[in-house]
Amino acid sequence: MTTETLVRPPVAPAARPRARWTWLRIRWRSVFKHAMLILLAASMIYPLIWMLASSFKPTETIFREIGLIPSDPTIVNYTDGWSAFTVPFSRFLWNSVFIAFGSILGNLISCSLAAYAFARMRFRGRGILFSIMLLTLMLPYQVVVVPQYIVFRQLDWINTPWPLIVPKFLAVDAFFVFLMVQFIRGLPRELDEAARIDGAGHFRTYLQIILPLMTPALATTAIFTFVWTWNDFFAQLIYLPALENKTVATALNMFIDASSTSNYGAMFAMSVVSLIPLFFIFLFGQRWLIRGIATTGIK
């Protein structure tokens, strides 16, 4: 969808002698446009680069040194940040990774099952259920979180990753169900029918025909789920208060709480560490992200 380009025909040159000037004007305008775009892009990205550069500077010089290149590069911020709390930072990383991968697995299974039913099966109440599913996209999290919290507390699930992972196995992220429904609808029905003639039931069709064909939608789901759980803060803040259960997001927050010590270097260093997975997704998974955004129209 995003790869096809409609080439608009250039404006027809008016008169011969003026053609050269028009060309020059167009040329000049495009140079100007690129210059502005690059300036905008650079000023947007600069703070990120500044953070990366600052993480290699001693804390005392971060706000003194104007230049990006550290005059005295050091990795002491990284070692400091790693052991800033009584629990090493690797523990927080592991907690975040565990939640992220649990959520991915849950979403892939539960959302694809629901999507298959919505896209390919006929049953009573499908229209209403589908509408309900779409409506939940607009539901504020705040309106369900209080009772959820009370229940999870009763279950003694506070300080366990289960409140964050178990709902994902129940297809609560309607966005992904919707994404997959859209995708499955685009697959030719003849494939299903051929499978049916060969004696495959719905589950076989789902498992052996639809699932392998919908890997692009699954990849988009996996990547978005990772980014959202990695960036999630609210749920991790309320469900995982104990130090050894904290995630990357809530551990970074502790640097602010403890800002009386103001170890900005360590804070920046661990912030950089927390952004590395997202950056890799940006480099290698962008295609799926852009496709997901463009085909559903949802962030």
List binders of other proteins among 236-295 (CB under 8 A): 237-238, 248-250, 252-253, 255-257, 259, 264, 267-268, 271-272, 274-275, 278-279, 281-282, 286, 289-290, 293-295
185 binds other proteins (CB under 8 A): yes
Task: Decide whether 172 or 209 has the Cβ nearer to other proteins.
Answer: 172
207 binds other proteins (CB under 8 A): no
Contact pick of 47, 188, 199, 212 for other proteins (by CB under 8 A)? 47
Asked if 244 contacts 91 with a C-beta cutoff of 8 angstroms, the reply is: yes
Contact pick of 19, 35, 75, 109 for other proteins (by CB under 8 A)? 109
- Joined together, the tokens standing for residue 99 give 């939640």
199 binds other proteins (CB under 8 A): no
Q: Nearest distance from residue 140's CB to other proteins, in Å?
A: 5
Helix axes 89-120, 215-231, angle to 10 degrees: 140
Site for other proteins in 60-79 (CB under 8 A): 63, 66
Contact pick of 59, 116, 192, 195 for other proteins (by CB under 8 A)? 116
Asked if 200 contacts 189 with a C-beta cutoff of 8 angstroms, the reply is: no
172 binds other proteins (CB under 8 A): yes
Q: Nearest distance from residue 85's CB to other proteins, in Å?
A: 15
Q: Nearest distance from residue 145's CB to other proteins, in Å?
A: 8
Site for other proteins in 5-34 (CB under 8 A): 5-9, 11, 30, 33-34
Residue 106, number of CB atoms within 10 A of its CB: 21
Task: Decide whether 187 or 238 has the Cβ nearer to other proteins.
Answer: 238
82 binds other proteins (CB under 8 A): no
- Joined together, the tokens standing for residue 182 give 């859209």
Contact pick of 127, 188, 199, 212 for other proteins (by CB under 8 A)? 127
Contact pick of 16, 122, 190, 212 for other proteins (by CB under 8 A)? 122
227 binds other proteins (CB under 8 A): yes
CA–CA distance, 13 with 18 (Å, rounded to integer) = 8
Contact pick of 24, 31, 39, 134 for other proteins (by CB under 8 A)? 134
35 binds other proteins (CB under 8 A): no
Rounded (5°) CA angle 164-169-174 = 90
